[in-house]
């Protein structure tokens, strides 16, 4: 579902009727499977794709009328805030940085000291990048153009001079797929370059879901840019833990009834 919705928006600017129907059908099945949970009490959050869809309000009204589900579309800064809050207790050394690469954006959190953080939302994600590159003539062009796009966006959106971190923590589906493919939780740029070559030469990943397979190469290119632009030597995967941040966020939204 995230793949089809993101592909629609980042390719055409709108959510197609077919994708809307698929989302409603999928969520209806989910509601039936977990019948003890009322959708009216669920906090649903929309991020990059819904921020940018021209018809996102129509989609929100459809989910409300069909399922009783209300979606709060949050800005990139709030999305980064959820991540920052959820990981704050895991940070032991300062300064350090964390990123969460999604389908439409990459949220970068810099923990400068115990009392100060800097959050940046970069409009680069695995689905968005694939949509930008889908007309590339060859995989070599795909990779070359992808690297240019991601590095340009990184340099444009990082405030001030480009920060330098020898190590970063990473989370999200792409990073999880990378470490699963490498069979270790920490990797360097040479590992990503090897994965790119395996992708170009048609490496088969039999255990990878189809939607993740389509996003693997653009996701790798998005992560690779962190090494190039920020001087990162090593990235370690950490499972996302944003529950605390989500609770903090929903407590600010009395109209939504607080956290579910």
Residue 120's DSSP bridge partners are 108
Residue 97's DSSP bridge partners are 110
- Give residue-wise pLDDT tens across range 7-31: 999 999 999 999 999 999 999 999 9
Q: Considering the domain 2-73 in this protein, what is its CATH number? A: 3.30.420.40
Residue with tokens 């954006």: 105
pLDDT recorded at residue 146: 97
Examine residue 159 and say whether the peptide bond preceding it is cis (omega within 30 degrees of 0): no
Distance CA 228, CA 233 (A): 9
Task: Render the burial of 55-66: b for 16+ CB within 10 Å, e for the rest.
Answer: bbeebbebbeeb
Distance CA 138, CA 197 (A): 13
DSSP per residue, 129-176 = HHHHHTT-SSHHHHHHHHHHHHHHHHHHHS-SSPP--SEEEEESHHHH
Find all residues with CB under 8 Å of 9, minimum gap 6, and list them: 15, 49, 50, 52, 53, 104
pLDDT recorded at residue 92: 82
Distance CA 248, CA 231 (A): 33
Residue ranges, the chain, pLDDT below 70 = 1, 203-206, 240-260
Q: Are the C-beta atoms of 96 and 51 separated by less than 8 Å? A: no
pTM of the prediction?
0.87
Q: Are the C-beta atoms of 63 and 91 separated by less than 8 Å? A: no
pLDDT recorded at residue 250: 62
pLDDT recorded at residue 104: 93
171: how many CB neighbours lie within 10 A of its CB? 22
- Give residue-wise pLDDT tens across range 109-124: 999 988 899 888 899 9
16 Cα distance to chain centroid:
21
pLDDT recorded at residue 153: 96
Fold of 76-237: Nucleotidyltransferase; domain 5 (3.30.420)
CA distances from 246 to 1, 94, 103 (A): 22, 24, 19
Spell out the domain ranges in the chain: 2-73, 76-237
228: how many CB neighbours lie within 10 A of its CB? 13
pLDDT recorded at residue 259: 40
pLDDT recorded at residue 189: 97
pLDDT recorded at residue 233: 95
């Amino acid at each position: 579902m995230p793949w089809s919705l993101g592909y629609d928006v980042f390719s055409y600017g709108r959510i197609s009727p077919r994708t809307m129907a698929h989302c409603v059908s999928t969520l209806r099945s989910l509601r039936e499977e977990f019948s003890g949970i009322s959708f009216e009490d669920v906090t649903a959050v929309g991020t990059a794709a819904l921020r940018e869809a021209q018809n996102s309000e129509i989609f929100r009204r459809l989910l409300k009328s069909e399922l009783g589900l209300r979606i709060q579309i949050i800005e990139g800064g709030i999305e980064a805030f959820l991540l920052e809050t959820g990981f704050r207790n895991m940070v032991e050394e300062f300064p350090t940085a964390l990123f969460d690469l999604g389908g439409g954006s990459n949220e970068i959190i810099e923990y400068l000291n115990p009392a100060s953080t800097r959050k940046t939302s970069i409009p680069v994600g695995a689905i968005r990048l694939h949509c930008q590159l889908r007309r590339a003539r060859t995989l070599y062009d795909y990779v070359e153009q992808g690297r240019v796009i991601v590095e340009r966006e990184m340099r444009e959106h990082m405030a001030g001079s480009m920060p330098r971190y020898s190590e970063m923590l990473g989370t999200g589906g792409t990073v999880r797929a990378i470490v699963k493919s490498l069979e270790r939780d920490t990797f360097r740029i040479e590992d990503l370059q090897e994965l790119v070559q395996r992708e170009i030469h048609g490496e088969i990943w039999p255990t990878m879901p189809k939607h993740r397979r389509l996003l693997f190469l653009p996701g790798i290119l998005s992560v690779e840019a962190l090494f190039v632009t920020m001087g990162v030597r090593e990235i370690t995967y950490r499972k996302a833990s944003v529950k605390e941040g989500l609770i903090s966020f929903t407590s600010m939204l009395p109209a939504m009834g607080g956290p579910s």
